[in-house]
A = this chain, B = another copy of it.
């Protein structure tokens, strides 16, 4: 089954490359000054685990589909949508790095400074990144429509996916802006921004490439939603305890950014007043020392990590139960189990 996933990943990589090579002459034909925009998106899309297309592939398998090139093209659109989300997200969070490189807005900001250009380097950076994200969003759609021969079922799912993604992202911004963390709201963020966007909708999309079946969609949701939530919780854990080299982002960034993740919110709720105040004072300070980060990690480890890990386990089991009772071939079941491991036991 790993071989199947690897082979799907290769197909996706090839389709990304092909789409980029189609857009390149168009973009540079408008003006060669667009070169850096192209290089940045090419660069960004070289990285990534292709998780969303893999979930799409899984949905397609459960629906009984036979994998082919036009499926690969259709699901590659998810990688372009994700590129838009990442580029725009990094602007919103003012994150400096992504997939081991400078974030897009940081790249353009730095090139503005290095070349001694006119105007505000920061605005130049975010302006370029906003536009590159917009391009990726447009290209995602372009690719999907061409690949699916304009199927209206698929298009409807695609429309919902985009609206839910943007809505989930805004809910996250909103949740982060409240003075005290609100775990109910955070759960809604996790549902829309992660569970639906990263797992459920890609699976629905994959299934819709084969046939339109509401009851099948429901079954896929029963697997996807808990798994997607577990996926996000694993992300929260990696954002604090992850290995910098494996994740490609500085470890402890969630603390420096003061992000209300479920992990951090639970620690604030469960720890003593002194420790909660201590943790609060560290959150959102970009100049934290390694020892400050360690202090925060200790509080999180003591008051929230076990609960989050057991929540991940519970959600993972829910997803596993769906697989166990599903009527499908053994290979597809094995694939679904493998994706559970990939999403929840990963290190990056």
Contact = CB atoms under 8 A, between A and B. Distances in A.
Contacts of A31: 167, 171, 185, 188, 192
Interface string A99-135: 0000000000000100011111001101110111111
A27 interface: yes
Given A92-B130, A167-B30, A138 B135 contact: no
Contacts of A170: 33-34, 37, 127-128, 131-132
> 9 shortest A-B CB distances, which residue pairs?
A150-B150, A92-B127, A138-B162, A117-B177, A142-B159, A30-B167, A135-B166, A127-B173, A131-B170
A18 B142 CA distance: 25
A67 interface: no
Contacts of A142: 159
B177 A112 contact: yes
A228 to B, nearest CB: 15
A271 interface: no
8 contacts: A31-B185, A33-B174, A33-B185, A88-B130, A119-B176, A131-B169, A134-B134, A138-B166
A78 interface: no
Chain A, interface residues (CB within 8 Å), range: 35 or more
Contacts of A130: 88, 91-92, 130, 133
A126 B124 contact: no
Contact of A173 (B26, B124, B155, B166): B124
Nearest to A122: B94
A284 interface: yes
A235 to B, nearest CB: 19
A179 interface: yes
Contacts of A177: 112, 117-119, 124
Contacts of A118: 176-179, 258
A163 interface: yes
A116 B26 CA distance: 46
Given A124-B173, A127-B173, A134-B84, A117 B179 contact: yes
Contact of A171 (B33, B155, B160, B167): B33
